[in-house]
Amino acid sequence: MNITFQGNKMTLNGQQVKIGDALTDFTVVDNNLNEVNLAALKGKKIFLTVPSLDTPVCDLEVRTFNSKASKIEGVAGIYTISMDLPFAQARWCGAKGVDKVATLSDYKYHSFAKATGTYINELGLLTRSVIIVDENNKVIYTEYLSEITNEPQYDLALAALSK
C-alpha cells in the first residue's frame, strides 16, 4: 500500500489486515505498564492506530471515536494504539477528558505493528488506521489512510459497527 506523510512517500512494514482475516495475537502496554494481549480483550473491538496522540489530527480522531463509537451498542472496547509512552498517553487522556477509549502503547514490542502492518519504517511510528474486529477477532472493517495526516472515514467505520 502506498502511504504518504505530508505528501512524502512512506513505507509500511508487514502485511496489512483485510476484512475476513483473523487478527493475530499481540502484546501492548497499558498506562500502568501492564502487558495486554488480544486474548484479554473481549467482544467487538475498535483499534485506532495513530502516529502520536499529541498531534491535532490524532487528538480529533480519538475524541471523535470517544464520543460517537462509545454510544453504539455492542462495542466492548475502543483502543488507541501508538508508540507514545504510556505515561504520555495517560496524561493526554486526563487532559482531554477521554474516558471511553483506552490508550495502549506499542513502544516496547512493536507487536501490534507487526500483527497489522502499521509500522512506518521512516518514522518509527504507527500509521493511521482503523481496524474493527468482532467477538471472534475476525476483521470486519479496515481503513489504512493513504495520507497519514488525514482523518479516517468516521461514518463508514461507525456503519460497520452497526452491522
- Predicted pLDDT at 93: 61
Is the pLDDT at 2 greater than 90? The verdict is no
Ranges 43-57, 69-83, 116-130, 141-155: which has the least confidence: 69-83
- For the stretch 59-102, pLDDT in tens is 878 878 888 877 778 888 899 999 999 988 887 665 566 677 88
> What pLDDT shows up at residue 60?
79
Distances (CA, A) of 116 to 45, 70, 90: 14, 23, 24
Model pLDDT, residue 56: 80
Grid cell locating 83:
508508540
| Residues that are catalytic | 58
Q: Which residue has the higher pLDDT, 29 or 77?
A: 29
Distance CA 133, CA 113 (A): 16
- State in Å, rounded, how far the first CA of the chain is from the last one: 27
Nearest one of 63, 47, 54, 65 to 130, comparing CA atoms: 47
The confidence band for 163, taking pLDDT boundaries of 50, 70 and 90, is confident
- Contact indicator for 138, 160 with CB cutoff of 8 Å: no
| pLDDT above 80 (res 32) | yes
Task: Note the pLDDT of residue 5.
Answer: 93
Would you say residue 1 has pLDDT above 70? Answer: yes
- pLDDT at position 89 is 85
Ordered domains of the chain (ranges, CATH) = 3-162 (3.40.30.10)
Query: Residue 127 has what pLDDT?
Result: 96
pLDDT at 96: 62
